[in-house]
Structure 1
Amino acid sequence: MAIKKKTSKKQSKGFRKYIFWFWGLFLTGVLGVVLVFLLASWGAFGKMPDLRQLEDPDTNQASEIVSSDGKTLGKFYLRENRTPIKFEDLPANLVNALIATEDERFYEHSGIDGRGTLRAFAFLGSKGGASTITQQLARQLFVGVRSNNKFDAITQKIKEWVIAVRLERNYTKEEIVTMYFNTYDFGNLAVGIRSASRIYFGKEPKDLTMEESAMLVGMFQNSSLYNPRRNVEGVTNRRNIVLFQMYKNEFITKEVKDSLQAIPVTLNYNPESHNYGIATYFRGYLQQYMKDWIKNNPKEDGEKYDLYLDGLKIYTTIDSRMQTYAEEAVRDHMIDLQNEFDVQNTPERNKTTPFLKLTKDEVTHTLNVAMVRSERWRHMMYDLGKSKEEIKASFHKEKEMTVFSWDGEIDTIMTPYDSIRYYKKFLRTGMMSMEPQTGHVKAWVGGINYKHFKFDMVKQGTRQVGSTFKPFVYASAVDQLHYAPCYEVPDVQHCIPANKYGNLKAWCPDNSNNEFSGEMMSLSAALANSVNSVTATLMDQIGPGPVVDLAHRMGITSEIPEYPSIALGTPDVTVYEMVGAYGTFANKGVYVEPVVVTRIEDKNGAVLYEYKPNTRDVLSPDVAYTMLEMMKGVVKHGSGGRLRHTTMGYRQDYKEVMTGYPYGFTNPIAGKTGTTQNQSDGWFMGIVPNLVTGVWVGGENRSIHFRSITYGQGAAMALPIWGLYMKKCYANEELGVSKEDFEKPEEMNIDLTCGGRVPDETVPEGDTPPEEMPKDDGFDTDF
């Protein structure tokens, strides 16, 4: 018995030893894990985010441009096109797809999934990893791409665990899910779920369908591999796995899963780069506007805002619907106009196409000037340090390039020098639409294609305004000479002697048809038909000074020389200035400076800027109303009369159908067309009570123009864009564009009853006199 007791004591001692070692190892392991976590949190394995960073993760956010009707027009960003959204903006099917696929026990753990971690260790990851959504978020926000070095990868994993636990302590599950969706890079410049939803499907996240949500969640595994633009088959298979996971976790039924898996992946791809999308020219202008604002409006700590990283929200006056209508109107008309221009300027018809009335030497000089002014020349000279000879030689070497056409981009091979001439042939345009009572700019189209033609013809480009300048002359006569619309002037050639107003030569402008009736003509009839003789008479009676002063007070900031010839539109002015000035007529004589930004907020919604209108009284209400009544005659009886037409026209010379003027407007419209010397510029300014719109069309160089006034006048080049745009605006009654007449002031001190001649036949407007026409733009360059 004693022997047995001794054996039992030995066994008991041995058992206690094993227990001791077990608990020792266990506690050592626990302490080791705790120590590792502590070391990680103390930064032993690399810098860790502090609590302030966890409360406000340092994610770069794109600044968002918002239209007046609440749509996103575009964003400003460098590399990351990210615009965060709130959890309530995420549809349930999107969240469910994420949970089912990435972290089934998301709502059960506190950042680390114990079961998943043990499974990953036991099977070495062959049956799935252990990264929770919170850990993946930690990696995206603070850790970065997994290292290929095993030691570094292990320390990164430890940091993920530590940060994940901290995230769980600081945020709710809903906030973690939201951050995860807001930070992931879905490729194709789509960072965050909102950008991905808009870019791949053209809609907001809340409008995603079940299968669209599944596709986007499927991209979380590897957005580069599962790129829907390049790997449709792989994306479809991955999406179907997500749908299976949703079925497995009882978010959807088998029937729903089977039906959705059978649907092909269909994209509505809308790239959000600076070259694409809506209002590209406006966004280009706004970018510089914001940079100027940032210079003068620092943060409270003195640092400057970063337009590309600070997530500013810029509320603009642009209406996305009206902007779309404007861009469609420009495209529809410019395609037809360009086709006609090309027919008239084939090499067989014009040896120096697309230039007219230039010698071959002048064409060469014009192209050389464009070459020196090009971005390619600037880059090679200043960035690469190439010599002039090297640069010129490179312009004559063929290379692959993609060029613009109205039928879509063309991949071709040509020399950069030939591409300059190719691009010169395209007619350009500028268009702006503004609410005159508020100055709010509703639409802005600075050209035909922002990617290939960056120069903005709304704000940057100044061109001769032709007869659209005449209302400033007539307004001066009504305001200062107290003339009524029925005041009559003889239609005879009127000469202003040399040196009377600083003009070196006598100025004796012809009418556009080189004829003078010799009869008395009312101011209304003269303005309606743009009669140069009457305008010259008025200019002589008023003098250039008061006309220039009025134009400046109405918002024209461009230089206007005080010469008599300005009466016929020799000054170079922007579309932006002209629309603002014409808004004075519609706003009862009060000029309101055009405005494009109403409010700026930071990423937290704090208001940084709110617009205050800049206005000034320029004309009395009765003078402004009188001018509107006179300009209504342009549409009733003059060169704008085709806005009343309802029929299509035909081109008789080539027997081909051309676009007519099927507008059929019956509501009151005030307007003015304008055409400059040789049909180089075509203008139309159109006014209804609550909308003023200006349109310019022409070539890049003044030597690029139509041969005759048939197609080259403002009524044919610019007016159709206005007509197409307004038809679309009127078709959308939600816009509230007025069809009513202009409001008449209570006190009218001007007699509007005119007995003057108003011919029924439309007469083309007058041209800029040749002696005032500058030569084709160019400069002396040592070639």
Structure 2
Amino acid sequence: MILKNLQLTPVKKWVLGISLTFIALFGFFFLSIYWGWWGKLPDTEELRNLNQNEATEVFSSEGKLLGKYYIFDRQPVLYEDLPQHLIDALIATEDVRFYEHSGIDNRSLLRVFFKTILMGDESSGGGSTITLQLAKNLFGRKDYGHLSIVVNKVREAIIAQRLEDIYSKEEIIKLYFNTVPFSDNTYGIESAAMKFFNSGTKDLTLDEAATLVGTLKASHYYNPRLFPERSLERRNVVLSQMNKYGYLPSEEYVKNRVKPLELDYQYFSNNDGVAPYFRSQLKKELSKILDTLENEKGEPYNLYRDGLQIHTTIDYQMQQLAEEAMKEHMTSLQQQFEKAYGKNAPWKREDILNEVLQNSKQYKNLAAAGWSREKIMDSLHRKTEMELFDWGQKKLLSASIADSLQHYMKFLNMGMINLDPSTGAVKSWVGGINHKYFKYDHVSQSRRQIGSIFKPVVYTAAVEAGIDPCTYYSVREVTYEGGWTPSNSGSEEEDPYTKYPMATALAQSVNTIAVKVLFDVGLGNVLTQAKKMMFPDDLPAYPSIALGTAEMSAAELAGSFSSYVNRGKAAKPYYLTKILDKYGNEIATFEPQVAAQPAFSNTTRQVMIEMMKGTVNSGTASRLRYKYNLPNDIAGKTGTTQNNRDGWFVGITPKLISVTWAGTDDARIGFPSTYLGQGANSALPAFAILLQKMNARPEFSDITQAKFAAPSSTVQMMLNCEPEKRDNFLERLFTKGDKPKKAKKEKKGLFGKIKGLFKKNN
């Protein structure tokens, strides 16, 4: 009727009718989306309570970011922390009329409708405002077949207008920067700033801000880490847009567009970055703790979604130096290790390799699938392109699974922990040589025989029991009940008539004397002393413990040895101080766990410190002085186990306890010689290099310049004896052909089972 009254020509009527029909259909189509027929739209209440997954951050003791746990790497930032040039860069590049529209830029939308949708011209742009992009960032897009682009655009337009009704322009800018995806699976400007420039958002420079905004056009294509030239070109486009729309004076534009692209990329993956082994251990601990805590909804906190802030005791700078020290030493030690074995390396032996292959996950999976041994071996020896770890560089070469297993079998590994003895606070944690290729943690997971590291406990028990430190013991070998004859390490045979006081015996790590002292003080007293020092309860109750049959982790040893500089009180290692929720509320705190009572008297403590200082000044750890020229006050003890499988060093300074282990993960492969594998050569150098690095840093002077208190006059008198003596004629006469000694409360024949087990221990 309306068309008839307008007196239009038939053609015009037809065009008008088609147009009205199209408008009606589009209106119905729009309403169908609005009513949720294509999927529920978020209502006002949901938009007011936006809940985005946020990464949990781990901080060092000084508040530096160590790493993150996340599904999406996102960290929120306040509007006040957004520098103006960052906001200007976004507006000029993505939505120059942002402050003029209410979520939809009608001019741009019409261009998209006619050019992009009807004419298929994708070069015409997306017509997307910052608010529309925010809607997409928050709720994503779904697949609706051929209508996907239209349905998604309409959904985003509706959501955008609702967002504009709820939030101010400043709040929308903040929400946008907190949700927009950047390169390398990074969400939000704070995470991007930290990842690419090691900077907080508020500290981003103009060129850095322009670089990050530039990636928003295509986060992978303009990834500044992968494609620096493209990223630089795109950054300059952003600067040009800022200049074009009056956000950047021409002189500033010219100045910044010639700047090179300089990244300070930070890895926050499980394998990369600072302290990866520590973060892996921390994650296990946090999983247990968070299961006991509830959020405001009465649900357990989620490590990967709830944006928690984890504060630790780790010293960021010391951690970096410890990792550097480990790499420097292990690179050199690995070369010595492989050179010493030469062509006769055990990892090249066919019998060992076949055993490793048969125990491999790949072999077991194929065997379970019914493959024959011959077919499995053929598969495991088939070569393909693969990346193999090696010191200095990663190797990309043609190799088989068998080649890979053989390659990794040869690698020495290391564990090193440093802690504050007064509290047990862990300052650095190096669990291995490379977390990507060697997941096993040699600080907390690995429990190895500790060798001569246990000898200080024997001597501590002796002094505490009243045995004079100047009591002399012969180095002569004695055969004990069952035929056990402990001997001393070293290539040269010692004079059997030489006698050492306990201080010299400990400094030189004399096996025969350590066992004799244990028999004098009693095995039970030694075990009781160890328990007071927080040694594990499962120590082997045999006299052979004097030579280190006990298996312990580096972390356990560090806590026990802290008693020597903490008034006799052992401190259990701890590394968590507090956990905050994403709003900064404290939800858990953690305190040091220090023994309530001293494990020994202060006199005994002073005696043992002086004796272990002798180990460093003139004993098995003396290379700290003559090779590494360390002037620090240091006490310590080296340790080496049977067949040179494990090398240990415990470094004690007034304000730092350090325990280092070095060896292989395969028990069949030890060091080829005591010269190479002894703790003084395999483990001690990592501590020495770390201390050298700390000595060069003024910020560590409180630790490096700390001095042991002078021993009391009583202790000085107790240790005032000659470093060695020789048996006189009568002593030689009556000790010739010593009879076997019996171990108290030990079963007959015990040592016959372990005869010769500890021929080398230092």
For the aligned pair, the TM-score class normalised by the smaller chain equals 0.7 to 0.9
Return the match for 1:417 from 397, 402, 417: 402
1:345–1:354 contact (8 Å) kept in structure 2: no
Question: Counterpart of 1:404 in 2: which secondary structure?
Answer: strand
Work out whether 1:370 is the aligned partner of 2:356: yes
Following superposition, the deviation at residue 289 of structure 1 comes to: 1.5
State the superposition RMSD in angstroms. 3.3
Which residue number in structure 1 is paired with residue 84 of structure 2?
92
Deviates most, 607-616 or 510-519: 510-519
Following superposition, the deviation at residue 669 of structure 1 comes to: 0.8
Which residue number in structure 2 is paired with residue 506 of structure 1?
484
The letter of the residue matching 2:487 is P
After superposition, residues 155-304 of structure 1 pair within 5 angstroms as 155-299=151-295, 301=297, 303-304=299-300
Deviates most, 116-125 or 568-577: 116-125
Question: Counterpart of 1:694 in 2: which secondary structure?
Answer: strand
User: Over residues 301-351 of structure 1, what are the superposed CA-to-partner deviations in whole Å (9 max), with x where a residue is unaligned?
Assistant: 55333222222222111111111000000011111111212222221xx2x
Work out whether 1:57 is the aligned partner of 2:23: no
Length-normalised TM-score, structure 2:
0.85
User: Over residues 451-507 of structure 1, what are the superposed CA-to-partner deviations in whole Å (9 max), with x where a residue is unaligned?
Assistant: 11111111111222111111111111122x123433333333344323xxxxxx434
User: Over residues 602-623 of structure 1, what are the superposed CA-to-partner deviations in whole Å (9 max), with x where a residue is unaligned?
Assistant: 2222322110222222333333
Which residue number in structure 2 is paired with residue 742 of structure 1?
708
Which residue number in structure 2 is paired with residue 102 of structure 1?
94
After superposition, residues 459-478 of structure 1 pair within 5 angstroms as 459-478=444-463
Work out whether 1:404 is the aligned partner of 2:389: yes
Question: Counterpart of 1:137 in 2: which secondary structure?
Answer: helix
Work out whether 1:434 is the aligned partner of 2:419: yes
Work out whether 1:77 is the aligned partner of 2:92: no
Q: Flag the 1:578–1:201 CA change in 2: closer, same or farther, 3 A.
A: same
Which residue number in structure 2 is paired with residue 488 of structure 1?
472
Following superposition, the deviation at residue 675 of structure 1 comes to: 1.5
Following superposition, the deviation at residue 553 of structure 1 comes to: 3.7
Work out whether 1:533 is the aligned partner of 2:493: no
Which residue number in structure 2 is paired with residue 310 of structure 1?
306
Which residue number in structure 2 is paired with residue 655 of structure 1?
none
Deviates most, 415-424 or 384-393: 384-393
Which residue number in structure 2 is paired with residue 132 of structure 1?
129
Following superposition, the deviation at residue 635 of structure 1 comes to: 1.0
Which residue number in structure 1 is paired with residue 436 of structure 2?
451
Length-normalised TM-score, structure 1:
0.83
The letter of the residue matching 1:133 is I
2:607–2:719 contact (8 Å) kept in structure 1: no
Which residue number in structure 2 is paired with residue 333 of structure 1?
329
Return the match for 2:481 from 497, 514, 517: 497
Work out whether 1:673 is the aligned partner of 2:638: yes
Work out whether 1:631 is the aligned partner of 2:650: no
Distance in 1, Cα, partners of 2:394 & 2:489: 43
Q: Flag the 1:538–1:53 CA change in 2: closer, same or farther, 3 A.
A: farther
Deviates most, 505-514 or 703-712: 505-514
Distance in 2, Cα, partners of 1:247 & 1:623: 75
Distance in 2, Cα, partners of 1:683 & 1:628: 18
2:453–2:639 contact (8 Å) kept in structure 1: yes
The letter of the residue matching 2:61 is S
The letter of the residue matching 1:533 is T
The letter of the residue matching 1:575 is A
Question: Counterpart of 1:409 in 2: which secondary structure?
Answer: strand
Distance in 1, Cα, partners of 2:475 & 2:329: 35
Work out whether 1:343 is the aligned partner of 2:339: yes
Return the match for 1:561 from 540, 543, 548: 540
Deviates most, 673-682 or 572-581: 673-682
The letter of the residue matching 2:693 is K
Following superposition, the deviation at residue 693 of structure 1 comes to: 0.6
The letter of the residue matching 2:467 is Y
Distance in 1, Cα, partners of 2:697 & 2:471: 41
Distance in 2, Cα, partners of 1:510 & 1:774: 7
Return the match for 2:524 from 545, 552, 568: 545
Distance in 2, Cα, partners of 1:39 & 1:315: 50
1:279–1:323 contact (8 Å) kept in structure 2: yes
Work out whether 1:521 is the aligned partner of 2:486: no
Which residue number in structure 2 is paired with residue 48 of structure 1?
41
Return the match for 1:322 from 318, 322, 339: 318
Distance in 2, Cα, partners of 1:389 & 1:58: 56
Deviates most, 103-112 or 118-127: 118-127
Distance in 2, Cα, partners of 1:280 & 1:731: 25
1:440–1:596 contact (8 Å) kept in structure 2: yes
Distance in 1, Cα, partners of 2:371 & 2:74: 39
Q: Flag the 1:14–1:562 CA change in 2: closer, same or farther, 3 A.
A: closer
Q: Flag the 1:145–1:375 CA change in 2: closer, same or farther, 3 A.
A: farther
User: Over residues 91-148 of structure 1, what are the superposed CA-to-partner deviations in whole Å (9 max), with x where a residue is unaligned?
Assistant: 3322221111112232333323345445555766866543221211111101x13757
Q: Flag the 1:28–1:621 CA change in 2: closer, same or farther, 3 A.
A: farther
The letter of the residue matching 1:635 is V
Distance in 1, Cα, partners of 2:422 & 2:710: 15
2:421–2:562 contact (8 Å) kept in structure 1: yes
Distance in 1, Cα, partners of 2:230 & 2:681: 52
Q: Runs of 5+ in structure 2 lacking a partner?
A: 8-18, 117-121, 726-753
Q: Flag the 1:488–1:92 CA change in 2: closer, same or farther, 3 A.
A: farther
User: Over residues 514-558 of structure 1, what are the superposed CA-to-partner deviations in whole Å (9 max), with x where a residue is unaligned?
Assistant: 424534422211111112222111111223333233334423337
2:487–2:759 contact (8 Å) kept in structure 1: no
User: Over residues 380-437 of structure 1, what are the superposed CA-to-partner deviations in whole Å (9 max), with x where a residue is unaligned?
Assistant: 567x786766544422222221101112100111221122221122111110001111
Which residue number in structure 2 is paired with residue 622 of structure 1?
603
Number of residue pairs matched by the alignment? 709
Distance in 1, Cα, partners of 2:531 & 2:382: 48
Which residue number in structure 1 is paired with residue 624 of structure 2?
643
Distance in 1, Cα, partners of 2:562 & 2:214: 53
Question: Counterpart of 2:393 in 1: which secondary structure?
Answer: coil
Question: Counterpart of 1:346 in 2: which secondary structure?
Answer: helix
2:507–2:612 contact (8 Å) kept in structure 1: yes
Distance in 2, Cα, partners of 1:294 & 1:380: 39
